[in-house]
């Protein structure tokens, strides 16, 4: 809790994940202690039916940074991935902080793609100006069919939800929490918009988290507007949205200034 309080200006999501790590048999959380005090944390989560070791939650107490503890933990996490039989590692990080990128590269990981991430609070002030009648909620299987109708909508073949990234296949979709929902937008039978959403509980209260993929400017604006409507319909005042940076200029047209922004990068590497 002390480390989380001193990370991300006190908005760290770690306190909301830690208990789940301890209860999940696919999670392997580790800590470094100095004088009986936890000063470094990290978790390896086995996903995608054991193929991928997801590295997450690496934290170092501010009093112990720049002393090599993050490097020690990163290498330990890679060794855990090897021990549990994963064939690759993956993680997401904020590019605005160069240290995690350097650590990822130090164990042979490489960047795959990036997404812009924005946060916006006080959604009551936003007017919904786009036609949303063609946005349709679908099942995970229907989402995959929609992607297959226009593979350019998901050029990497990997979809992101919250901080996680999964290959777009039936096995992974079936493994997702039932609270994760999907929407598509079609134009002349072709998929031009896709959104993935889930409700999260944060230090500041409930937050709607969505990732938006779009084949055009208009499709992006429609999907972002729709996700704001979904957020407001749940009486939630905060939204976190991930999207291609090419549409960054259009975000202000919909919501004005964001509360906060980062660039999210997916890294991948061999075990």
CA 246 – CA 243 distance, rounded (Å): 8
Q: In this prediction, what percent of the chain has a pLDDT beyond 90?
A: 77
Q: Are 16 and 75 in contact (CB under 8 A)?
A: no
pLDDT on residue 11: 66
Averaged pLDDT of the chain: 92
Interval 160-186 mean pLDDT: 94
pLDDT > 80? residue 125: no
Given this chain, do its domains 2-86 and 117-269 carry the same CATH topology? Answer: yes
Q: Are 196 and 172 in contact (CB under 8 A)?
A: no
Q: Does the domain spanning 117-269 belong to CATH 3.40.630.30?
A: yes
Q: Which CATH number fits domain 2-86: 2.70.210.12, 3.40.630.30, 3.40.50.300, 3.90.226.10?
A: 3.40.630.30
CA 63 – CA 67 distance, rounded (Å): 10
Interval 12-36 mean pLDDT: 89
Query: Both tokens of residue 40?
Result: 């470094």
Beta pairing class for 27-34 and 37-47: antiparallel
pLDDT > 70? residue 178: yes
pLDDT > 80? residue 15: no
Domain ranges of the chain: 2-86, 117-269
Q: In this prediction, what percent of the chain has a pLDDT beyond 70?
A: 97
pLDDT category, 240, cuts 50, 70, 90?
A: very high
- How many helices (H) and strands (E) would you count in the chain? 8, 13
């Amino acid at each position: 809790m002390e480390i989380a309080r001193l990370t991300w200006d006190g908005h760290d999501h770690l306190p909301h994940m830690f208990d789940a790590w301890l209860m999940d048999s696919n999670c392997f959380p580790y800590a470094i202690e100095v004088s009986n005090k936890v000063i470094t944390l990290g978790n390896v989560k086995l996903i995608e039916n054991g193929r991928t070791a997801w590295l997450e939650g690496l934290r170092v107490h501010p009093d112990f940074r720049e002393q090599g503890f993050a490097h020690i933990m990163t290498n330990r996490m890679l060794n855990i991935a090897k021990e549990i039989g994963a064939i690759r590692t993956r993680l997401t990080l904020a590019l605005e902080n160069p240290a995690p990128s350097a650590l990822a590269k130090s164990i042979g990981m490489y960047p795959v793609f990036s997404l812009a991430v924005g946060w916006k609070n006080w959604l009551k002030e936003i007017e919904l100006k786009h036609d949303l009648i063609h946005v349709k909620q679908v099942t995970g299987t229907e989402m995959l069919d929609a992607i297959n109708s226009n593979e350019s909508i998901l050029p990497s073949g990997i979809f992101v939800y919250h901080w996680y990234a999964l290959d777009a296949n039936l096995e992974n979709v079936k493994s997702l929490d039932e609270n994760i929902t999907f929407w598509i937008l079609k134009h002349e039978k072709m998929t031009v918009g896709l959104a993935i959403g889930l409700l999260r509980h944060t230090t500041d209260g409930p937050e709607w988290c969505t990732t938006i993929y779009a084949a055009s400017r208009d499709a992006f604006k429609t999907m972002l507007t729709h996700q704001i409507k979904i957020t407001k319909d749940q009486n939630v005042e905060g939204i976190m949205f991930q999207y291609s940076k090419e549409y960054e200029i259009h975000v202000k047209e919909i919501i004005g200034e964001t509360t906060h922004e980062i660039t999210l990068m997916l890294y991948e590497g061999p075990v």
